[in-house]
Amino acid sequence: MSHDPIAESVQSLLSSRDPDAASILAAEAKRQETTLELIASENHVSAPVMHAMGTCLTNKYAEGYPGARYYGGCVHHDDAERLAQDRAKKLFGCKFANVQPHSGASANAAAFLALLSPGDTFASLVLADGGHLTHGLKVNMSGKWFNPVHYPLHYDESHPEFERIDYDEAERVCLEHRPKLIMCGYSAYPRVIDFERFRAIADKCDALLMADIAHIAGLVATGEHPSPFPHAHVVTTTTHKTLRGPRGGLILTNDEDLSKKLNRALFPGLQGGPLMHVILSKAVAFGEALKPAFKSYQKRTKANARALANALIERGYRITSGGTDNHLMLVDLRTRDAELTGADAETWLESAGIITNKNGIPQDPRPPRVTSGLRLGTPALTTRGLKEADMGVVAGFFDRVLASKGDAAECEKVRGEVAAMCEKFAMPG
């Protein structure tokens, strides 16, 4: 386990002043330390990233942007935000960066507000095929205020690109509907995205191209996935997931006019005061991502994902699209057990110390609260130091739990073995 003196000091302070809060914090720290985190959108940040958030920068309102605040006393907050902006631009090779979004959803909402008018048409991949709720789901602002049309995956099992993006059909859909904006970048898509092809489609229908790289940002930053630049007009991302920073968002562009629209859309359009303590933490994370060790980490993350996918295939599970090119995979549970659901699998695995999330697979016949699959990812396991050989062990734990149909005794046995494995791989500290 990690030994973080600052975290221990915080725990001690809370214990003396607010034991109820201290108890919750201690329990969550133990949960994270003793479980295997396989949720593709989660990671374990470093101690510097974590502790930068718990600083005096949280005391200050800093509405506006560096050099143009609506409050006095922001000189050091300007420095912190400029540091985050400069590092983000260097990391992604772009000219303009807005580091203020509170989340990836906020970043996407700002981009919609800047680029579209209510009722405008945009194109995206539907959530059920790996998109995101902010890409046009009807219960979300993107689907309520705008008109989404969707391009498909290849659905023919005999096609060599089965369950991958059908770029020809995407072009046909976009030429038919003439969207003002085309979105690419997904929350549950395990293959490389052809940003250049999407830009060609956008140019044919006079649309802007927006890439949401929330999941693959760390891979993009290190050259382990092709960059959306120079093809995309706007790029949004979260700052956690593979980027391994604090929870937050980021908007990037090379277009000065668009950058001004995006800035105004975020503030004052959507948000008020920025979370300056989180922005400082983003700067720290971007600094870590600029170091050579971060590229090695991303390579290991991809290698671990391939190893885990292969180990699960060997045990009878189907991985959608046949494998993975990045950090995540979608597991079709039905090939192992036709009655097995994602909801049951998630619950049983958690009882054994393996944290996952149920997820629909393309053309899933089951509803989103049940699903036929799980989405798995390797960023957090890789952060803790697990390697390719360890993925076989993890797959073994996974299969034992599901093969037992959540048998309490077997889950408890696996839980002990998982905890023992976690002892060998310390949390970052």
- The residue written with tokens 């992604």 in the block is 92
Tokens of 197: 């092809």
CA pair distance 199, 392, nearest whole angstrom: 39
- The residue written with tokens 């935000």 in the block is 81
Residues 6+ away with beta carbon under 8 Å from 172: none
CA pair distance 346, 302, nearest whole angstrom: 23
- Which domains, and CATH codes, for the chain? 56-289 (3.40.640.10), 300-424 (3.90.1150.10)
- Quote the Cα angle for 376-380-385, to 5°: 120
Closest CA to 399 of 330, 333, 321, 341: 333
Please tell me the pTM assigned to this model: 0.96
Closest CA to 108 of 198, 226, 213: 213
Eight-state DSSP code of residue 38? -
Report the pLDDT value the prediction gives residue 102, as an integer from 0 to 100.
98
- The residue written with tokens 């919609």 in the block is 112
Residues 6+ away with beta carbon under 8 Å from 338: none
Q: What string of pLDDT tens digits covers the 429 residues of the chain? A: 557 888 889 999 999 999 999 999 999 999 999 999 999 999 999 999 999 999 999 999 999 999 999 999 999 999 999 999 999 999 999 999 999 999 999 999 999 999 999 999 999 999 889 999 899 889 999 999 999 999 999 999 999 999 999 999 999 999 999 999 999 999 999 999 999 999 999 999 999 999 999 999 999 999 999 999 999 999 999 999 999 999 999 999 999 999 999 999 999 999 999 999 999 999 999 999 999 999 999 999 999 999 999 999 999 999 999 999 999 999 999 999 999 999 999 999 999 999 999 999 999 999 999 999 999 999 999 999 999 999 999 999 999 999 999 999 999 999 999 999 999 999 997
- The residue written with tokens 């016949």 in the block is 365
Report the pLDDT value the prediction gives residue 2, as an integer from 0 to 100.
59
**Residues 244, 218: contact at Cβ < 8 Å?**
yes
Quick one: three-class SS letters along 51-93? HHHCCHHHHCCCCEECCEECCCCCHHHHHHHHHHHHHHHHHHC
Any idea which residues carry the catalytic annotation?
Answer: 61, 63, 212, 238, 241, 247
